[in-house]
Amino acid sequence: MQQDKQRPVDKDLAAQLISALRPLRSSEATGAPRNLATSAELVGQVSEQDVMRWYQAQGLQESDVHTLRRTALLSGMPNPSGSFLNNAMQYIASPWINYATGNPWAGASFGFATAAIAAPMNAAQQSAVVSLCESIREHGGHVIVPDKSQINDKHWLPDLAIKLSEKLADFSTCYNNFGAVASKYPEHDAGALATDADAVQAAQALLRAQSALQKTQGDFVMTQGAHDRQWKGNRWQSIPRTLRSPLASSLGLISKTPAIRALSPSAQAVASLVVTGMQHVAAGFDERAKQEANNTLNLLHADVFTTEGKQKLERGEPLGGQDIDEGKLRKLIQSPTQALVKRVTSGLNAVYTELSNELGSARLASTEAGHEVDLELGHGNKPVALVKLEQDLDCLREGRLTDLAHDGAAARLLAGSATSVISEQLVRDIGAKYTMREFSAQTAQRLGQAFHLGVFGSAASSVIGKVTTAAQGGTRNVPVLEVVEVAALSGTMAAVGALNQHVAISVKNNRREASPDIGLGKQITRGIMGGAQEAMAQYSGTRTSKAINAKLGDADVHAMLQKARELCQTQAAGPSNPLTLDEAVQQLRPGHRSASHSGEITVEIE
């Protein structure tokens, strides 16, 4: 554990990469030509060589990176298990019900019911599946830890796009105001400008507007990156998600031949299982891509700086190794031991809080019952169990694992978790995730996926083929062309939903991280309409971000900002205006001078 905490990192290399890749625009300090307005442009400049050098800066060898990527792939494979049961009911059980009953409406009705319960049914399983995936990843190798303070979904992208436009308008207004005041004075008469209170206020307002504009642009680009991370985490799975429904509809054509009619439900079952297998493999590649995206986002956005380094970055100055905080840089990668200790610590903190509350309530009840507390008998001391927990928690936080109590909960959980992916600690983690708010958020996410843009998504695509065939007495009564057309329509509907899975996930994360909570209703609405809203926000926000770069890159604007900075610096460095005695008397009112030409001031307090 101590070795993990002291893992060697390369601060100079980290500073070099950040200075080269992070800025959106050119700066006088570096002189490098840059004009990047979106996360896609920012990420697009990062090469595989840059990624490997960033891993190296964080203290990982090439073999460590290989293990990390392989483990990420394996950890993602179980992820589709959360929806397997519902898919089996929809695409395996439903065709067999049709065949067994000879009534197409029986299968269609079962399909409707399955689609109706899909969201809560899958949500109930997903927390357990996600915990299992995380456990696999953390046991297999190093884990990338995104800096949640800098990379998050606190902002809703459509809101940011609007805010970005507003901040650009505010900046333009402040620029025009300062320009109007500054134009009253000759270029060489800076002293007169510095004595103009209106000019100073306008300069300060302009610099505040510039700072707010750049912060909002940074939030927009970061949020784009967070959404793109979710897209990369679902990209390959969109293929089997799209194929599942039209493939089932097409295989229904087998029932048109009486001799092999019994093969139709079997073929659909086999096809469903094959597609599910494809999705499990695709999920592995998606998870690996998502973890790679986390690493790249850390390079582009994470806070790994000292106080001086952060200020230099804001000024656009090149960074050196002394500007990188070694501890912050090291925390972006966790070893399996560190990840396990972190989980055990979190679990024991919850146990400690619960036990403290129980003992506090018991002590309060005892006092209210009239029982006296005798400190000499030790009644005021903490219970032994609480003291042991505190000691174990201190050992975990400080990495002193050998000092843990051998018969304590921490040692038991660590020993069990170290030897197996499935452990008591995993069960505790799963239980901690089953809260009403989490279940609500997971259900709302799946409603957004199932009913994307109303008629698109997994719900409508899974039942449209069943309804059209049932209405005509079964597939054998439906023209082949119509079956093909319905299958194509079903695939199109499924594709729209599959390609927007990341939007529903981003909305869920926004609800988790935003303050205040946007609530269940707004999450469902945003999840359903999110694809269209996201597309419009990406378009308008990107256009505004490019306009910001053009505005700030303009030579006249740059000169005006420089003049505003110089004016504010002069004002801050200059001495305060001296007051005459009469002016001092006026500011000290109520009061009066005691006598003519006297240096004495008498202040009357009523």
Question: Please, which pLDDT band fits residue 94 given cuts at 50, 70 and 90?
Answer: very high
Domain ranges for the chain, please list them: 157-232+543-574, 338-433, 579-606
Residue with tokens 């051998």: 406
Helices (H) and strands (E) in the chain, counts: 26, 4
Q: Which residues touch 372 (CB under 8 Å, ≥6 apart)? A: none
Residue where the block lists tokens 């850390």: 298
The answer to whether the peptide bond before residue 80 is cis (omega within 30 degrees of 0) is no
Please tell me the predicted confidence (pLDDT) of residue 183: 86
- Residue 464's identity, in one-letter code, is I
Burial of 2: CB neighbours in 10 Å, binned 0-12, 13-18, 19+? exposed
pLDDT digits (tens, 9 = 90+) for 438-464: 999 999 999 998 998 888 888 889 889
Please give the residue that has the higher pLDDT: either 4 or 223.
223
The pLDDT score that the predictor gives to residue 81 is 94
Q: Tell whether the model's pLDDT for residue 592 goes beyond 50.
A: no
Identify whether the C-beta of residue 95 lies closer than 8 Å to the C-beta of residue 88: no
- Closest by CA position to 506, among listed 158, 149, 265: 158
Gap between the Cα atoms of 90 and 272, Å rounded: 10
Q: Give yes or no for a contact between 462 and 117, defined as CB atoms under 8 angstroms apart.
A: no
Closest CA to 194 of 540, 527, 578, 566: 566
CB environment 86-114: b (16+ within 10 A), e (fewer): bbbbbbbbbbbbbbeeeebbbbbbbbbeb
What's the average model confidence in pLDDT over 548-561? 92
Mean pLDDT, the chain, rounded, equals 86
pLDDT tens readout for residues 153-205: 999 999 999 999 999 999 999 999 999 998 888 775 667 777 888 889 999 99
Instruction: Classify burial at 333, counting beta carbons within 10 Å of its beta carbon; exposed 0-12, middle 13-18, buried 19 or more.
Output: buried
pLDDT of residue 580: 55
Residue 280, pLDDT > 60, answer yes
pLDDT attached to residue 603: 45
Helix (H) or strand (E) holding 603: strand 601-603
What mean pLDDT do residues 507-536 have?
92
Backbone dihedral angles phi then psi of residue 451, each to the nearest 5 degrees: -120, 45
From the CB of residue 49, how many other CB atoms can be counted at a distance below 10 Å? Answer: 8
The string of pLDDT tens digits covering residues 62-86 is 999 999 999 999 999 999 999 999 9
Sign of the C-alpha dihedral, residues 217, 219, 225, 230? negative
pLDDT of residue 503 exceeding 80, the answer is: yes
* Better pLDDT: 371 or 337: 337
Least confident of 308-317, 340-349, 500-509, 576-585: 576-585
Go through 462-494 and write b for each residue having 16 or more CB atoms within 10 A of its CB, e for each that does not: bbbbbbbbbeeebbbebeeeebeebbebbbebb
- For residues 333 and 76, what is the distance between their CA atoms, to the nearest angstrom? 19
The model's pLDDT over 194-206, given as tens digits with 9 standing for 90+, comes to 788 888 999 999 9
Angle between helices 104-140 and 263-301 (to 10 degrees): 40
- CA-angle at 132, arms to 130 and 134, nearest 5°: 70
pLDDT higher than 50, residue 595: no
At 454, give phi and psi (nearest 5°).
Answer: 85, -70
